[in-house]
Amino acid sequence: MKISESDLIINPDGSIYHLNILPEDVADTIITVGDPDRVSGVSKYFDRIELKKGKREFITHTGYVGKKRVTVLSTGIGTDNIDIVFNELDALVNIDFETREIKKDLTSLNIIRIGTSGAVQPDIPMGTILASGYGLGMDALMNYYIHELSGDERSLMDDIKAHFGHLKHINPYLTAADEMLLNTIGKNLPTGITITAPGFYAPQGRIVRAKNAVPDFIGLINSFNSGQHRITNLEMETAGIYALAKVLDHKALSINAILASRVNFEFSNEPNKIVEQAIKLVLERISA
């Protein structure tokens, strides 16, 4: 079935609407980062850069790490942007732009986020590089998609609903990391449940001047447990990435550079150093 011109917008040069890139510009291994400036922080380690393109906050560099072709792409902040990036990446590989039809042979991308995050457990200090075992969304993105839970996700979700059920403004969603990526790129890293919040301040329990509606949100978050599972950190994209990757049949893993300890009220004075360590770790493991 032909996808309409208003559902899938292709620019006059054949590129996809927001990302402004062509199907051939995308590698099968993709690193996403929030900060557009972090794209060159990743591609500076490429052995060869093939292309640099961009529009708005969506900057793309594609090149080679050893023999592996890799795309690094910035998403900007938030799961509203993840909606755009994931639908457009999927269209670039799985829709024929000439016929506007879904291809017969679908491509499953390997997508690794390198992001920054704040820890909510006292034993996860600033400087930790953490792999998200699960993404728990507190934002509204997945209210708009059909998203099914595996058995494992369902039992964890039951405990999450019991713990957070009194917060009537949220409809949380949960997705596990891709197991293969977790066991390779995320090997031996600390893991846990990452909460994806729809904001940086009150939605992450920060108190500045406005009054927060949820008292002691950090305490509520870090007191959750379900078997060996606990919530380790907060950021703003991972749950959307995991959920849309699953819906669209891609593989995803989120690697978090922990810049803040929310329980110790600390924020790193060397954030770039921690991010750099996360970038190097991911690139070494991608090219191994």
Ligand X SMILES: O=P(O)(O)O[C@H]1O[C@H](CO)[C@@H](O)[C@H]1O
Ligand Y SMILES: O=c1cc[nH]c(=O)[nH]1
- Interacting residue ranges for ligand Y, rule: CB under 6 A: 116-118, 200, 204, 234-236, 259-260
The partner in contact with residue 34, picked from ligand X, ligand Y, none with C-beta cut-offs of 5 to 8 angstroms by kind, is ligand X
CA 103 to chain centre: 25
CB nearer to ligand Y: pick between 57 and 159: 57
Q: By beta-carbon distance, which residue lies closest to ligand X? A: 34
138 binds, among ligand X, ligand Y, none (CB under 5 to 8 A by kind): none
Q: Which does 33 bind (CB under 5 to 8 A by kind): ligand X, ligand Y, none?
A: ligand X
Is the CB of residue 130 less than 8 Å from the CB of residue 255?
Answer: yes
Considering the complex, what minimum distance in angstroms separates the CB of residue 220 from ligand Y?
Answer: 16
Closest approach of ligand X to the CB of residue 52, in Å: 19
Q: Tell me the two tokens of residue 166.
A: 């009194």
The residues that bridge with 243 in the sheet, in sequence order, are none
Which of ligand X, ligand Y, none lies near 118, with the C-beta cut-off 5 to 8 A by kind? ligand Y
Query: How many other CB atoms are found less than 10 A from the CB of residue 1?
Result: 6
Query: Residue 50 is encoded by which pair of tokens?
Result: 């093939």
What's the closest the beta carbon of residue 129 comes to ligand X, in angstroms? 13
Q: Could you tell me the smallest distance in angstroms from the CB atom of residue 95 to ligand X?
A: 27
Least Å distance, CB 4 to ligand X, is: 32
Rank residues 39 and 95 by Cβ distance to ligand X and give the closer one.
39
In this structure, what DSSP letter does residue 78 have?
A: S
Which of 15, 194 has the CB closer to ligand X? 194
Closest distance between ligand Y and the C-beta of residue 258, in Å?
Answer: 8
Q: Output the smallest distance, CB 237 to ligand X, in A.
A: 5
172 binds, among ligand Y, ligand X, none (CB under 5 to 8 A by kind): none
Which listed option, ligand Y, ligand X, none, makes contact with residue 276 (CB within 5 to 8 Å by class)? none
Q: Outline where the chain has alpha helix (H).
A: 36-43, 79-94, 151-164, 179-184, 217-222, 238-247, 271-287
Nearer to ligand X, 17 or 200 (CB): 200
- For binding to ligand X (CB under 6 A), which residues are involved? 33-35, 77, 115-116, 200, 235-237
Cβ-closest position to ligand Y: 118
Parallel/antiparallel/unpaired status of strands 229-235 and 191-196: parallel
Angle between helices 271-287 and 36-43 (to 10 degrees): 50
Shortest separation between residue 92's beta carbon and ligand X, angstroms: 21
Of 95 and 231, CB closest to ligand Y:
231
Cα angle for residues 75, 46, 105 (degrees, 5° grid): 60
Q: What angle do CA 171, 172, 173 make, to 5 degrees?
A: 120
Are 84 and 201 in contact by the 8 Å Cβ rule? The answer is: no
Question: Residue 64 binds what, of ligand Y, ligand X, none (CB under 5 to 8 Å, by partner type)?
Answer: none
Q: Which is nearer to ligand X, 95 or 282 (CB)?
A: 282
Rounded to 5 degrees, what angle do the CA atoms 108, 24, 46 make? 85
Residues 6+ apart with CB under 8 A from 121: 192, 222, 230, 231, 232, 263
